[in-house]
Amino acid sequence: MSNQAVASRGNVEPGAAQAPALRSRPAAPASSRFAVGGGRHAAIKLASVAAFIALWQWLSSNHVDLKIITFANIPAPSDVAPAFLNLLESPKLAAHIGNSLWRVFAGFIAAAALGIGLGLIVGRSRWVADILMPPLEILRPIPGVAWIPVAILAFPSSEASMIFITFMGALFPVLLNTIHGVESVDPRLIATARSLGAKPLSIFLEVILPSATPSITTGLAIGMGTAWFCLVTAEMISGEFGIGYFTWESYSLQNYADILVGMVFIGAFGMLSSVFIKQAGRALTPWLATQEKQH
């Protein structure tokens, strides 16, 4: 073969030796700092959490009163743990969690669909940006929670109003990050795609969309956080079921240990859903994992 010489010489190029050996590298997700890093680090981290809980236990069980802040009425971990187990056995738990999850995902998915769709168009077309962005810019600084009274007035069903508030919370992070992702596409890549024969639709699907994906997934992760935040607040005001409602109801009924149980659930589900978004984002952008490893 006449190209043998080319091929064999290619393999001894100095740069080739420096290229990282992909297959030998373990897949190391960015959030692995808690998982790996040696047993000692893990032990220190666990001890830190244990110390935090011990401090809380001590402050609460001794009813420590620091004048500015008092722990006299705060249930201790030893009260919260049984309440937690109690709720785990309660049939109401599934209804609370199910309602919250449904609302958060309904609002989040609506916000993701509209935010990504609108962001892709606004990022590519100055005309659409001029027409649509001014009213959105006016609404942007208004926090999702501030929409609660209007939402109650505007939506006959409290279910719809809670989903709307969740939607408002998630919309802007997704929209703005999508626009940013589209606007920061390397114009050289677009020019290259054109000179390789790509038509506008192909440029959009093959260049703009993948190029904007990392920014979009960042927007989705932030949006998921604000969606939970807005949902919990909305449930405290107008819910019948849901984790936020459970937390506030516990306060009203003076089941103070249950307040903390509600908070634990809110934290856990917020964390789980952002892990879910991050994993989905990582699956959509496999090339970024290889770039991270280069540094």
Give the residue with the Cβ less far from other proteins, 200 or 267: 200
The yes or no reply on residue 125 touching other proteins (CB under 8 A) is yes
Question: 70 φ, ψ to 5°?
Answer: -125, 140
* CA separation for the pair 22, 51 (Å, rounded): 41
Query: Any contact of residue 93 with other proteins (CB under 8 A)?
Result: no
Q: Which of 48, 99, 131, 139 is nearest to 238 (CA)?
A: 99
Sole window of 2-10, 39-47, 113-121, 274-282 interacting with other proteins (rule: CB under 8 A): 2-10
DSSP string, 172-222: HHHHHHHHHHHHTS-HHHHHHHHHTT--HHHHIIIIIHHHHHHHHHHHHHH
Q: Is 7 in the site for other proteins (CB under 8 A)?
A: yes
Which is nearest to 164 in space by CA: 233, 267, 217, 241?
A: 233
CB-nearer residue toward other proteins: 57 or 285: 285
Q: If binding is defined by CB under 8 A, does position 291 make contact with other proteins? A: yes
Scanning residues 16 to 45, which ones bind other proteins (CB under 8 A)?
Answer: 16, 18-20, 22
Kindly tell me which of 256 and 282 has the beta carbon lying closer to other proteins: 282
Min dist. Cβ of residue 214 to other proteins (A): 9
Is the torsion defined by CA of 115, 121, 122, 127 positive or negative?
Answer: negative
Give the residue carrying structure tokens 């609302």. 103
Q: Return the CA Rg of the chain.
A: 25
Return the range that interacts with other proteins (CB under 8 A); candidates 106-114, 215-223, 232-240, 286-294.
286-294
- Among 37, 98, 149, 200, which residue sits at the site for other proteins (rule: CB under 8 A)? 200
Out of 210, 255, 256, 282, the residue judged to bind other proteins by CB under 8 A: 210
Residues forming contacts to other proteins in the complex (CB under 8 A) are 1-3, 5-11, 13-16, 18-20, 22, 124-127, 186-200, 202-203, 206-207, 210-211, 213, 285-287, 290-291, 294
